Structures are given as C-alpha cells and as structure tokens.
Amino acid sequence: MSPPAALPPGDLPAALRSPAPAAQQGSPPLHEFALADAVVKAAVRAAREAGIDRVEAVVVRVGELQQIATDLFEFSLTQVLPPSDPLLEGARFVVEREAVVFRCRVCGREFGTGDLGEAPGADEAEAVHFIPELAHAFVRCPGCGSPDFDILAGRGVTLERIEGRGGDLPGSP
C-alpha cells in the first residue's frame, strides 16, 4: 500500500496554512473533515438508493450558524472521497451558504445577522456553532429587544440535491 500523496502548501486552504490557533480561526480543521466525510457517505448512500450509477454533482447547503470554514469544507469534500469507487469519480461538490433568518415570537419581525446592531463575538459564534439554541443568549430582536425567537433558516448542513446518471433523487433536474 502506497502512502497518500501530499499536496504542496500552496494548494492547501488558508485555514490549514495559517499559523493561528484553531480557536482563532473558527472551527478546528478536523471538524470540517469529519463533516465532509459524513456528507460524502450520505451522498453515496442516497445515490445508491436512488439507483444513480454515476454522481455528477452534489449540492450541499450550509447554514450560517454552523460557522464552517467554507474553503476548508470544500477542500475536505475532495479529500474524503472513496478512492476506488467509480460512483463519485469526477463529481462536483457545490457548497451553498444559507443566511440565518430569525422570527421574533413577540413582535413577529424576521431578521438576520445583518440586522443586529452588534454581531456576536468569536466566542459567542463558536458556542452557537456547537449549540444553536445558545443564540437566544446572545441575540436580541432588533425590533423589540426580545430574546424569544425561532430560527427559520441558516442552521445545519443539508444534502440539497444529487445529480447523476442512471437515476435521480427527488428534486433533481
């Protein structure tokens, strides 16, 4: 068995080249790799269940509250592909960001992070990344000041669509 090929430093995402501690960069790099591995495994399972013989594209939606380093996540998706599985050979992974949308339970106003006077700091964002319900401790409705709101969009990671030959998943073109 031969050792894995090493990428030149210039080909690595910035989050892996940076000398800053992981806590200053957002999520630790291993988080993105583990998430990418789970996405690839879910895509393979869903494609096989749908009878797809060759996946051409996988569209993944990542919520803003996840605090994922997008470039590192995209890089990770290419690194965790099964090396001998023709199902994903040549597949494109498209990562779409989904902005967070909150709805105040008191006044009904819908708002996002751009509507907040002051965005939560790095420590607060990291806490919300791991436990999205903690947003209630750091975010207030810009209309009435209430911390009582629903998160309508912008959390989680979703396999939005899988495109391929030999079959299609619901929602695929």
Locate the domains of the chain by residue range. Answer: 26-164
State the pLDDT at residue 122. Answer: 77
Q: Which residue has the higher pLDDT, 165 or 22?
A: 165
d(CA 28, CA 146): 32
Residue 153 structure tokens: 């969009």
The topology under which CATH files domain 26-164 is hypothetical protein PF0899 fold (3.30.2320)
Residue 30 has pLDDT above 90, yes or no: no
Q: What angle do CA 55, 11, 16 make, to 5 degrees?
A: 100
State the pLDDT at residue 29. Answer: 62
The pLDDT mean for the chain works out to: 79
d(CA 146, CA 139): 9
Residue 19 has pLDDT above 50, yes or no: no
Q: Which residue has the higher pLDDT, 108 or 26?
A: 108
